[in-house]
């Protein structure tokens, strides 16, 4: 009745079928592109200007970085409401260390990242080992760390920081060779334009290799036409954005860090046993535990990881503002959580992708940026962002019911 | 008996993306009869009943439903319930923290203007409970009564809705023998009062006992309808229809080759996780040898699952004491991870809650308990993993379109095979199987017995927990009998019989 390897013998699905099956994944990406084009038009071409693109990256880096950790927390079946307050307390600690005690930025950063991990561990301890709902524990954390920030800063702003520290969020990659002014292309940042060409080439090579490898193992791959189109679009978009950035000051440092982190967490979630276990934990904790997996420890780790990333975001925010304020990071938790849900994470755990969360974060970022350029007030911005979040989740649910 | 046809389903076809679940099925039920629906898992029984009860509304299937001679186009469960067609699903739909009365009238409250008349609700509940022979207070919470009684509450709930056609999906799957018998007697009693019922069951002895007619489905199509009054229908006859061939023996033959003791539990005592003064395991001594299948018999609630789980990484209970020896040496089984490392595996009776990550695919579930086997330095080798999953799919004949299918979409028997595959992949020396054939069909059961045989032939040891005594007698070498958390008898299978086992249980009860 069942022939062996029956699945591998079926022909590759047609393009239409394939698109329908992967609707959610591409839907969100298409939504991002549509939103970007919409704002490009309505702002009279401001959105894609090199200066603005650079700003977009700088403004959103910390949301993206926290979304990476939040996605793991949400997939594991938890939530973390305290990340905005962690951003604030880490910024405050960094300020006190560097400004009041003149400690160098490197030591300060290291201490702050560890402190972020400790804060994550403190909350994770109650959630993982005492099974207190994450909502409650991190709600408490949100208040406690905000209060600590106020106390530490005495209600004032502390700054400015050493120039070296500011480079974290305002620095750019060094220009290795200064390129001459080129016809048509203009003056370009050498390192950045090199990366602009090298990274897409590397990605195309990797996906081509993985496709070949899959084929040789008899695994179903997406239709060839689709593969080509997908890669062509990806390359075109990356080269365009990279080129735009290269005509200005080049790639911000933070863009590179962000890229490395995204690649790292994508790898962890899709290719490692730890990632696999987090998905299993969110899908069915009891079954996972009975399969010999220490689910408590796994939950604990996701919160430590979240704490470190939130701490890192705290440093970026402080460096960007060049001062630590008691209000830093206010409401960030909502942007970060929204990014994950827009990106397709499930509220009940077990489902969600790093790429989805990143795209979700950029959707929020472009909305913020575009509406600011249009001159819309914070009032309208919040209404629109709220509705987009709702629409994304409704779309998800509708999709799920249809299949 | 009247010969009015109360229900006729004509040429029902229902397709899901990629699968034809029902193909041109016709089925008719006469008023006042008990009509059994038999078939292997995935034969389409539940789908057919979901079409009938409006879970799949009119328009999502092809074909016609005539009820009392009229063509019906049911749009929802509410529509069918108004007509008196009530379905009781295999997984009971009761709210644990609400009372019996609240559950019975849930969605159908005895209320005026939104205000509930509790006195009237309680009075009516008492009446309904008397009808189903359940002696419980209407205000008792569902969580505090056993599964058998919960099943009766479901039936009382159906009665409260003026049921005319009662559909029971595997009503006795999780009941012990005496509760099952009580339930079947109740059905026969209702039949006398004119109630029509459709019963889906894998327990053929029960079907032969109560059914007037038997319709057999196979691969989404009607095979035949047998009239139990016209001729005597044997279980073998029903099985033949279900599997399409004669199943000469329900238990595959095995030559046992029993070796030295591999697994031993000494003086195992554990207490209830909440009520810390209640013993759930009481000084249990037990051993299994290489190549041996050892059964643990007992009634529902005898403490077999609790014992097995307390041994397997202390997953149940507290204040656990006792010793576990593997190959004669004390083994550390204090966490699930260590128990697995010691060579132990526990295949749970509750595959949905405790056995599977339903939203993950077959492959991911298959390898969940042995990530070491598919990874190096935490990095998963997807080709090794894929190869393993395909191998187990073929070996255990897991029917799934691909190993990338989410297990939630598989039928019960195939889900059970995925749980087994998971533990086989972990390569244990001792497997504890807890009700491994619950709720699955004859064909799949046979396959699971065969897998057990293969395992012991390979020198592993199996502990087989089951409430179905014929199954234990057919598969085991030796049987322990458990009652109230203690081993009350041990017998080689040659000396064991259903009477012996029941006798041991009864005698132990008297002593207390």
The model's pLDDT over A155-185, given as tens digits with 9 standing for 90+, comes to: 899 989 999 999 998 889 988 888 877 777 7
Q: Is residue A102 over pLDDT 70?
A: yes
The residues facing B111 across adjacent strands are B116
Give B65: exposed, middle or buried? Use CB within 10 Å, 0-12, 13-18, 19+: buried
Determine contact: A212 vs chain B, CB below 8 A: no
- Cα gap B201→B217, rounded to integer Å: 12
Could you say which of A283, A290, A350 has the minimum Cβ distance to residue B336? A290
Token couple for A7: 């699945």
Sign of the alpha-carbon torsion through A187, A191, A192, A195:
positive
| A317-321 average pLDDT score | 94
Could you say which of A274, A287, A350 has the minimum Cβ distance to residue B355? A287
How many Cα neighbours within 13 Å face the side chain of A320?
21
Distance of CA B150 to the CA centre of its chain: 15
- Cα gap B35→B44, rounded to integer Å: 16
pLDDT at B286: 94
**Closest residue by Cα to residue B211 from B223, B221, B196, B194:** B196
Q: What is the pLDDT along chain B (512 residues), one digit of tens a residue?
A: 446 888 999 999 988 765 678 888 988 899 889 999 988 766 788 889 889 988 888 888 889 999 888 888 888 888 888 888 998 887 778 888 899 999 999 888 888 888 888 899 999 999 999 888 888 899 999 888 877 788 889 889 888 888 889 999 888 877 777 788 888 998 898 898 888 999 988 778 888 889 999 998 887 888 888 888 877 878 778 877 777 765 556 788 887 888 899 999 999 999 988 888 888 898 999 999 999 999 999 877 788 999 999 999 988 888 999 999 999 899 999 999 999 999 999 999 888 899 999 999 999 999 999 999 999 999 999 889 999 999 999 988 888 888 988 998 888 888 999 999 999 999 999 999 999 988 777 778 888 899 999 999 998 999 999 888 888 888 999 999 998 889 999 999 888 887 788 778 777 765 54
Q: Which domains does chain B have, with CATH numbers?
A: 5-243 (3.40.50.300), 250-343+428-512 (3.40.50.300), 351-427 (no CATH)
Give B304: exposed, middle or buried? Use CB within 10 Å, 0-12, 13-18, 19+: buried
Determine contact: A34 vs chain B, CB below 8 A: no
How many Cα neighbours within 13 Å face the side chain of B219?
5
Tell me which of B338, B355, B378 to substitute to probe the interface with A (most A C-beta atoms closer than 10 Å): B378
Label residue A353 by pLDDT band (50, 70, 90).
very high
- Cα gap B229→A286, rounded to integer Å: 48
What residue of B is the nearest CA neighbor of A5?
A: B390
Q: Residue A29: CB partners within 8 Å, gap ≥ 6? A: A359
Chain A positions touching B386 (Cβ under 8 A) are: 217, 219
Helix, strand, or coil (residue B193): coil
Could you say which of B357, B371, B394 has the minimum Cβ distance to residue A287? B357
pLDDT at B1: 41
Could you say which of B17, B375, B401 has the minimum Cβ distance to residue A273? B375
Q: What percent of chain A has pLDDT over 70?
A: 93
Neighbouring C-beta atoms of residue B268, cutoff 10 Å: 21
Chain A positions touching B364 (Cβ under 8 A) are: 276, 279-280
Determine contact: A178 vs chain B, CB below 8 A: no
**Closest residue by Cα to residue B336 from B320, B313, B359, B356:** B313
> A286, B353: Cβ pair inside 8 Å?
yes
> A290, B348: Cβ pair inside 8 Å?
yes
Which residue in this structure is represented by tokens 């079947």? B184
Helix, strand, or coil (residue B457): helix
Min CA distance, A282 vs chain B (Å)? 9
Give A178: exposed, middle or buried? Use CB within 10 Å, 0-12, 13-18, 19+: exposed
Chain A positions touching B356 (Cβ under 8 A) are: 284, 287
> Over the range B73-87, which residues count as b (16 or more CB within 10 Å of their CB) and which as e?
ebeebebbbebbbbb
CA dist B141 → A292, B108, B137, B365, B449 (Å)? 34, 18, 9, 35, 38
What residue of A is the nearest CA neighbor of B377?
A: A272
Alpha helices in B11-117 (DSSP H): 45-52, 77-82, 100-104
User: At residue A343, what are phi and psi to the nearest 5 degrees?
Assistant: -75, 5
Note whether A206 and A264 are within 8 A (CB). no
| A334-344 average pLDDT score | 93
Chain A to chain B Cβ contacts (< 8 Å): 92
| A232-260 average pLDDT score | 91
- A237: enclosing H helix or E strand: helix A224-246
pLDDT at A88: 96
The residues facing B218 across adjacent strands are B221
Min CA distance, B394 vs chain A (Å)? 6
Q: Which residue has the higher pLDDT, B78 or A276?
A: A276
Note whether A343 and A358 are within 8 A (CB). yes
**Closest residue by Cα to residue B370 from B446, B440, B412, B422:** B422
Query: Mean pLDDT over all residues of chain A?
Result: 89
Q: Is residue A7 over pLDDT 70?
A: no
Interface of B with A (CB under 8 A): 17, 312-313, 315, 335-337, 339-340, 346, 348, 353-360, 364, 368-369, 371, 375, 378-380, 382-383, 386, 390, 394, 397, 399, 401-404, 422, 426
Could you say which of A1, A217, A272 has the minimum Cβ distance to residue B379? A272
Chain A positions touching B336 (Cβ under 8 A) are: 289-293
Token couple for B492: 């080689």
Determine contact: A66 vs chain B, CB below 8 A: no
Count of all residues that appear for chain A in the document: 403
pLDDT at A8: 37
Q: Which long-range contacts (CB under 8 A, 24 or more apart) does A104-107 make?
A: A104/A162, A105/A161, A105/A162, A105/A164, A105/A165
pLDDT at B247: 54
> B357, A271: Cβ pair inside 8 Å?
no
> Over the range B364-379, which residues count as b (16 or more CB within 10 Å of their CB) and which as e?
bbbbbbbbeebbeeee
> B315, A289: Cβ pair inside 8 Å?
yes
Min CA distance, B339 vs chain A (Å)? 8
Chain A positions touching B337 (Cβ under 8 A) are: 292-294
């Amino acid at each position: 009745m069942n022939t062996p390897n029956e699945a591998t013998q079926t022909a590759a699905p047609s393009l239409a079928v394939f698109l329908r099956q992967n609707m959610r994944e591409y839907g969100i990406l298409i939504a991002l592109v549509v939103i970007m084009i919409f704002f490009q038009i309505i702002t009279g071409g401001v959105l894609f200007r090199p200066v603005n693109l650079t700003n977009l990256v700088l403004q959103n880096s910390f949301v993206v970085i926290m979304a990476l950790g939040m996605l793991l927390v949400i997939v594991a079946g938890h939530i973390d409401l305290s990340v905005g307050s962690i951003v604030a307390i880490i910024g405050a600690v960094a300020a006190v260390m560097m400004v009041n005690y003149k400690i160098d930025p490197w030591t300060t950063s290291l201490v702050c990242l560890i402190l972020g991990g400790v804060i994550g561990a403190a909350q994770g301890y109650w959630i993982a080992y005492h099974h207190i709902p994450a909502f409650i524990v991190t709600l408490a954390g949100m208040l406690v760390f905000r209060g600590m920030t106020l106390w530490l800063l005495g209600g004032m702003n502390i700054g400015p920081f050493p120039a070296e520290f500011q480079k974290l969020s305002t620095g750019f990659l060094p220009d290795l060779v200064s390129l001459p002014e080129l016809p048509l292309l203009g003056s370009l940042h050498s390192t950045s334009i090199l990366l602009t060409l090298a990274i897409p080439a590397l990605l195309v090579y990797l996906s081509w290799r993985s496709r070949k490898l899959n084929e040789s193992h008899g695994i179903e791959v997406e239709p060839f036409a689709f593969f080509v189109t997908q890669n062509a679009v990806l390359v075109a978009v990356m080269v365009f954005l990279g080129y735009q950035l290269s005509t200005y000051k080049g790639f911000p440092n933070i863009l590179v860090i962000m890229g490395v982190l995204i690649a790292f967490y994508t790898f962890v979630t899709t290719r490692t046993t730890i990632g696999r276990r987090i998905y299993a934990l969110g899908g069915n904790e009891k079954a996972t535990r009975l399969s010999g997996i220490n689910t408590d420890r796994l939950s604990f780790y996701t919160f430590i990881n979240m704490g470190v990333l939130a701490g890192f975001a705290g440093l970026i925010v402080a460096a960007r503002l060049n001062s630590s304020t008691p209000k830093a990071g206010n409401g960030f938790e909502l942007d970060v959580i929204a990014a994950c849900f827009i990106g397709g994470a499930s509220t009940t755990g077990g489902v969600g992708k790093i790429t989805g969360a990143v795209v979700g974060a950029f959707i929020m970022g472009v909305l913020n940026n575009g509406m600011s350029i249009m001159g819309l007030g914070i009032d309208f911005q919040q209404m629109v962002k709220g509705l987009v979040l709702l629409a994304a989740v409704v779309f998800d649910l509708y999709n799920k019911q249809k299949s | 008996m009247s010969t009015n046809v109360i229900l006729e389903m004509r040429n029902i076809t229902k397709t899901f993306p990629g699968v034809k679940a029902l193909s041109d099925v016709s089925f008719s039920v006469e008023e006042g009869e008990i009509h059994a629906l038999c078939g292997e898992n995935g034969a389409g029984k539940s789908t057919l009943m979901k079409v009938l009860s409006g879970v799949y509304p009119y328009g999502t299937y092809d074909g016609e439903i005539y009820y009392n001679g009229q063509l019906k186009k049911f749009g929802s469960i509410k529509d069918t319930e108004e007509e008196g067609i009530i379905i009781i699903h295999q997984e009971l739909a009761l709210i644990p923290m609400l009372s019996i009365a609240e559950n019975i009238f849930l969605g159908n409250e005895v209320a005026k203007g939104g205000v509930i008349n509790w006195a009237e609700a309680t009075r009516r509940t008492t009446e309904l409970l008397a009808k189903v022979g359940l002696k419980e207070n209407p205000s008792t919470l569902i969580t505090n009564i056993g599964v058998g009684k919960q099943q009766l509450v479901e039936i009382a709930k159906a009665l409260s809705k003026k049921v005319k056609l009662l559909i029971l999906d595997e009503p006795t799957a999780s009941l012990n023998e005496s509760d099952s018998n009580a339930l079947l007697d109740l059905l026969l009693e209702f039949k006398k009062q004119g109630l029509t019922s459709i019963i889906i069951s894998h327990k053929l002895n029960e079907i032969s006992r109560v059914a007037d007619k038997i319709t057999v489905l196979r691969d989404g199509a009607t095979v035949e309808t047998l009239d139990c009054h016209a001729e005597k229908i044997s279980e073998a006859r029903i099985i033949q229809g279900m599997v399409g061939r004669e199943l000469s023996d329900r238990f595959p033959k095995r030559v046992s080759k029993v070796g030295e003791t591999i697994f031993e539990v000494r003086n195992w005592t554990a207490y209830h996780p909440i009520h810390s003064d209640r013993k759930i395991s009481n000084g249990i001594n037990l051993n299994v040898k290489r190549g041996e299948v050892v059964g643990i018999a007992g009634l529902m609630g005898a403490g077999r699952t609790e014992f097995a789980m307390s041994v397997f990484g202390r997953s149940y209970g507290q204040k656990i004491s006792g010793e576990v020896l593997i190959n004669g040496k004390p083994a550390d089984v204090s966490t699930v991870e260590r128990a697995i490392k010691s060579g132990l595996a526990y295949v749970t009776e509750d595959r949905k809650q405790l056995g599977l990550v339903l939203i993950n695919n077959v492959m991911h579930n298959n390898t969940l308990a042995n990530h070491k086997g598919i990874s190096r330095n935490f990095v998963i080798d997807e080709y090794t993993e894929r190869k393993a999953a395909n191998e187990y799919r073929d070996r255990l004949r897991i029917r799934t379109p691909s190993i990338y299918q989410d297990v939630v979409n598989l039928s019960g028997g195939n889900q059970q095979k995925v749980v087994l595959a998971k533990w086989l992949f972990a390569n244990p020396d001792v497997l504890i199987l807890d009700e491994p054939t619950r709720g699955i069909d004859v064909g799949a059961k046979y396959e699971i017995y065969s897998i057990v045989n293969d395992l012991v032939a390979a020198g592993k040891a199996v502990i087989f927990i089951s409430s179905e005594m014929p199954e234990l007698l057919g598969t085991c070498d030796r049987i322990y009998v458990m009652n109230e958390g203690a081993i009350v008898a041990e017998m080689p299978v040659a000396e064991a019989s259903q009477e012996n086992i029941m006798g041991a249980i009864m005698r132990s009860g008297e002593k207390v």
